[in-house]
Amino acid sequence: MELGRLLFYDPVLSGGKDVACATCHHPDFGYAESIDLSIGVNGKGLGEKRRFNQGNNIPFTKRNSQSLLNTAFNGIGPDGQYTPEEAPMFWDLRAKGLEEQAAMPMKTLEEMRGHGFGEELITDEVVKRVNSIAGYQRLFKKVFPESNAVTLTDITKALAAFQRSLTASGSRFDQFMRGDRSALSDREQEGMRLFIQSGCARCHSGPMLSDFKSHVLGAPDNEKLPVSDSGILGTYGFRTPTLRNLKFTRPYMHNGKFQTLNDVLFFYEDMHGKPPRNRNVDRTRLDPLAAAVRVEFKDINTIVEFLNTLNDPDYDKRYPRPFRADYRLGIYQLKFKP
Ligand code: HEC
Ligand code: HEC
């Protein structure tokens, strides 16, 4: 797990050694990011201060960075059952399991690869680099004694193990559900009642407040993108996100279009009777469960108060201890000298 933490913060995993997983999944932002669309390759700074370098030919990421808190439980059902290898990943469900997912950002041009390496070559290059670092050789030998040299599979296993350790499920809501009635105020309990009554819990259900399924809501496009994002197989469906730890993971929706939870709630309030905010989505295509949502303006603040009981600020925010000199290249540079 500690090996995975090192890799997670290490920019040697990126083509130009200028981006780490932690650049877009940072502990200060609930292991998500505080800007709508991330800047990976050819950027500098962290969070809202992050900008492209001069002379840029790299696009923004297409979507808002997802929080890695509790991804260990992706796909968990109301009965608490889940299968790690089948865990649904991404806003459009295009990967399964943290191991399969972990190699994907390295191969993606705008996330970590850059123009320097082709998609087929980049992972070989990363494996070669990790193999050539004495500190990693030692650690990998300890964690994977059966491997003669570091492999891509070992790297993705280590990253997945670290990510699985990033849980945050000790919120006041959890205390309440375990039977401590005083954990939520009367108003927060009223917010929970309104959340259910308005129809939110039909999709935001189960222990993660998500059914992990695709639904068409018709959220507006992000105008930073050259083309409209049509989601899963062109349906404009996106995966229901968890509602845990939203305090740390602003902005919201698949493209970070909404800055506050109140903005999200105004969107749901408008869903009744008004045409979808996304002009490419016809009202008849709205998910029936979404069309059935009824949010009253007067209830919005109370529902937001309930959502705020789902935060667990006590999650693991530790940086790895640097173990070689050129570590300054990494997130440390981004962190301390933005
Ligand atoms: C340039 C920013 C960027 C970098 C670097 C990056 N990610 Fe991501 N990550 C994203 C975005 C954006 C998404 C959502 C993409 C989508 O759904 O299409 C995402 C999604 C994920 C998810 C899915 C979570 C879920 O609940 O489905 C995981 C897991 C993940 N990233 C892990 C990693 C790992 C591990 C690394 C390093 C090897 C990494 N990311 C590097 C931006 C980044
Ligand atoms: C039909 C299923 C469905 C219903 C009903 C529903 N949601 Fe959602 N919710 C989703 C999906 C899918 C998304 C992501 C949509 C997107 O990104 O375009 C989402 C996004 C959100 C987000 C943004 C979270 C983030 O991390 O970006 C919040 C907050 C939220 N919903 C709260 C609510 C509340 C409160 C209600 C009730 C008023 C509700 N939802 C009703 C499916 C649903």
Q: Is the pLDDT of residue 258 over 90?
A: yes
159 Cβ below 6 A of ligand 1: yes
Predicted confidence at residue 327, as pLDDT, reads: 41
* Other Cβ atoms within 10 Å of 121 Cβ, number: 13
Distance between CA atoms of residues 132 and 128, nearest Å: 6
Distance between CA atoms of residues 232 and 10, nearest Å: 31
Structure tokens at 314: 């006590």
Q: Say what percent of the chain tops pLDDT 90.
A: 86
Residue type, position 156, single letter: T
Q: Rounded mean pLDDT of 169-188?
A: 97
What are the pLDDT digits (tens) for 16-34?
998 999 999 999 999 999 9
Name which residue sits closest to atom 33 of ligand 2, judged by CA.
Answer: 200
Predicted confidence at residue 157, as pLDDT, reads: 98
Q: How far is the CA of 17 from the centre of ligand 2 (A)?
A: 36
Token pair 């296993």 is found at 157
274, 217 in Cβ contact below 8 A? no
Q: Rounded mean pLDDT of 196-215?
A: 97
pLDDT tier for residue 319 given thresholds of 50, 70 and 90: confident
Q: Give the number of the ligand closest to the Cα of residue 276.
A: 2
CA distances to 34, 206, 243, 269, 321 from 18, in Å? 19, 38, 31, 42, 19
Name which residue sits closest to atom 35 of ligand 2, judged by CA.
Answer: 200
What are the pLDDT digits (tens) for 33-84?
999 999 999 998 888 889 999 999 999 999 999 999 999 999 999 999 999 9
Predicted confidence at residue 23, as pLDDT, reads: 92
112 Cβ below 6 A of ligand 1: yes
106 Cβ below 6 A of ligand 1: yes
Q: Rounded mean pLDDT of 284-298?
A: 96
Q: Is the pLDDT of residue 199 over 50?
A: yes
Predicted confidence at residue 135, as pLDDT, reads: 83
Name which residue sits closest to atom 37 of ligand 2, judged by CA.
Answer: 200
Q: How far is the CA of 118 from the centre of ligand 2 (A)?
A: 37
pLDDT tier for residue 325 given thresholds of 50, 70 and 90: very low
Structure tokens at 10: 């290490």
Predicted confidence at residue 134, as pLDDT, reads: 82
Predicted confidence at residue 329, as pLDDT, reads: 39
Task: Please give the distance of CA 261 from its chain centroid, rounded to a whole number.
Answer: 17
Predicted confidence at residue 322, as pLDDT, reads: 59
334 Cβ below 6 A of ligand 2: no
Distance between CA atoms of residues 62 and 308, nearest Å: 28
Predicted confidence at residue 81, as pLDDT, reads: 95
Q: Rounded mean pLDDT of 223-251?
A: 97
Mean of pLDDT over the chain: 93
Q: Say what percent of the chain tops pLDDT 70.
A: 95
In 3D space, the residue among 299, 306, 257 whose CA is nearest the CA of residue 277 turns out to be 257
Q: Is the pLDDT of residue 334 over 60?
A: no
Q: Is the pLDDT of residue 179 over 50?
A: yes
Residue of 66, 125, 126, 152 best suited for mutating to test ligand 1, as the one with most atoms within 8 Å of CB: 66
